[in-house]
Structure 1
Amino acid sequence: MKILIATDAWDPQTNGVVITLKNLGKQLINNKNEVYYITPKMFKTIPCPTYPEIRLSINIWPKINKIIKKIDPEVVHIATEGPIGFFTKKYCNKHNIKFTTSYHTKFPEYIYERIKIKLVENLAYKFLANFHKDAERTLVTTKSIKNELIYKGFIKNKLKVWTRGVDRSIFKKINGRSFDYKPPIYIYVGRVSVEKNLTEFLDLNIDGTKIVIGNGPMLDYLKKKYFNVLFLGKKDQFTIAKYLLESDVFVFPSKTDTFGVVVIEALAMGLPVAAFPVPGPLDIIGGTKIDVLDWDLKKSIKKALKVDKKDCINLAQKYTWENCAKIFTKQMYINQK
């Protein structure tokens, strides 16, 4: 089976979208499929305003026609709503090729966090609903996100929940602490930007050490403002796994993520997660033995310190990339030749 995945999100980004698509591809190949990607690396690109890590492709049409025609896929999945996604959709519609899409990112909320104009956020959702309406199915991360999108005008019967997984091969067992920070250690891993709501974590007056791993447009500003926080910048996955294993609480202050792959990675390391009761954390740990979600982040952290690490590991067991690929395979549309 030839499967084509079109995405505007790719290396050098290290976000949940890229992690998901790469691991999905590995599993699909393991299941004897041929997997092809159309990514920004195939085109000239410019940085996305306010989000320079995202490269916007600018010379796609008609080059993308030749790429898709040469691959001649039986399955087409459009993973993002950017230029590559748009022109892949255009090609499919023109040639009567059925396709699926996926919704990964709350870009309307990201825009609102920057310009604080509600009308623009609402218009962005109308654009997204229109983009996905031609898909046979649209894969979404959680039930909460599905319900939100129905309210925003997406077609209800086309929305299918598509969960995520953890690559446990990167987790190396480390006995005891290898660094000498004052405990408890509270850690955040991810993009350092306004939509991640980091200040609600960094403003907290709590005993111990706060660690932030990741890059982003707010990094320099936050470094200057929070001199008592350890900002470690971007790290490779093995170093991140080491810090997760040796920390006491993973703090996830974002209110705009659709899932949070890093949340289940932390849980797989036995690290309790403190977060707000919002989509993503609510779907993963809400109503479970390790549910410490609270609109007061400080209370959530205090409760997380009492969580049994074994319960975190047990909960994370159900999140596998094998299952992620299984759901994708069930929902993909096969065009008959």
Structure 2
Amino acid sequence: MRVLIATDAWRPQINGVVRSLERMFEAAPDFGVTAQMLTPEGFRQVGLPSYPDIRIALASQQQVAKRIAEFGPDHIHIATEGPIGWLARAACLAQKRSFTTSYHTRFPQYVAARWPIPESWSYRFLRRFHAPAAGVMVSTATVEAELREHGFERILRWGRGVDLSLFHPRAASVLDL
């Protein structure tokens, strides 16, 4: 199976979204999946005005559609609601392709804490983004309940699990002395 993962959050960013996607990408071959990342890399980019370390792609729907076609995925997962996410979504809708999305960040609360923008506006924006998806993946029951409360549908729980090669139930020593 070939899976394309479209995301605006990718290296060199260091955050939970990037880390989750990196682990998923690294583990894909273990499940017989050939994965490819569609990221801002390779497109012209600009830094977000209030957060210049986060680079966003300046791409066209045609450029994104071409990258999707070149890989020939069996499934498309759109991980973020940024420019890459919106362009991948538009390409999928134009081609009548099914796709899934994921919701990683409590974006409405983040926006409301930084600017005088009501959470309801952000939720409306996010509902519009996620509405055509075959499923919206979330990591916790709390986030699932929050999205349902705000009118989201087709929510799927996507637990992250524990990598037992990194974490052991009984460490030899808690302090590693």
Instruction: Give the deviation of 1:103 after TM superposition.
Output: 0.3
Deviations 1:26-49 (A, max 9, x none): 222112221111011121111123
Residues 106-145 of structure 1 correspond to what in structure 2 (within 5 A)?
A: 106-115=106-115, 117-119=116-118, 121-145=119-143
Distance of 1:62 and 1:126 partners within structure 2: 26
How far 1:96 moved relative to its partner? 0.9
Does residue 48 in structure 1 map to residue 48 in structure 2?
A: yes
1:67 has 2:67 as partner: yes
Structure 2: segments with no counterpart, 5+ residues: none
Q: Tell me the residue number matched to 1:90.
A: 90
Give the number of the structure whose residues are more often helix, by fraction. Answer: 1
Query: Secondary structure of 2:21's partner?
Result: helix
In structure 1, the residue matched to 2:157 is 161
* Gap change, CA 1:168 and 1:49, over 3 Å in 2: farther
| Alpha-carbon spacing, 1:176–1:83, altered in 2? closer, same or farther (3 Å) | closer
Match of 2:100 in 1: 100
TM-aligned CA distance change 1:27 to 1:129, over 3 Å: same
Residue 37 (structure 1) aligned with residue 37 (structure 2): yes
Mapping 1:1-337, distance limit 5 Å: 1-115=1-115, 117-119=116-118, 121-155=119-153, 158-170=154-166
Q: Pick closer, same or farther for the CA change 1:171–1:90 going to 2, 3 Å.
A: same
Structure 1 distance, partners of 2:161, 2:49, is: 30
Paired amino acid for 1:163: G
SS across alignment from 1:42: coil
CA distance in 2, matches of 1:174, 1:41: 41
Distance in 1 between residues matched to 2:62 and 2:21, nearest whole Å: 25
1:232-284 deviation line (CA, Å, top 9, x unaligned) = xxxxxxxxxxxxx79xxxxxxxxxxxxxxxxxxxxxxxxxxxxxxxxxxxxxx
1:102 maps to amino acid = S
The separation in 2 between residues aligned to 1:26 and 1:38, in whole angstroms, is 15
**What is the TM-score normalised by the length of structure 1?**
0.49
C-alpha displacement at 1:135, in angstroms?
0.3
Q: CA deviation at 1:58?
A: 0.9
1:60·1:84 contact (CA, 8 Å) conserved in 2? no
Q: Aligned residues: percent identity?
A: 38
TM-score where L is the length of structure 2: 0.89
**Residue 60 of structure 1: CA displacement?**
3.5
- Report the Cα offset of residue 61 of structure 1: 3.2
Residue identity in the other structure for 1:162: W
Matched length: 175
**What letter matches 2:160 in structure 1?**
R
Deviation at 1:5, TM superposition (A): 0.4
> Tell me, what secondary structure is at the counterpart of 1:46?
strand
Q: Which amino acid aligns with 2:28?
A: L
Is this contact kept in 1: 2:78–2:100, CA < 8 A? yes
CA-based RMSD of the aligned residues comes to 2.1
- 8 A contact 1:140–1:161 mirrored in 2: yes
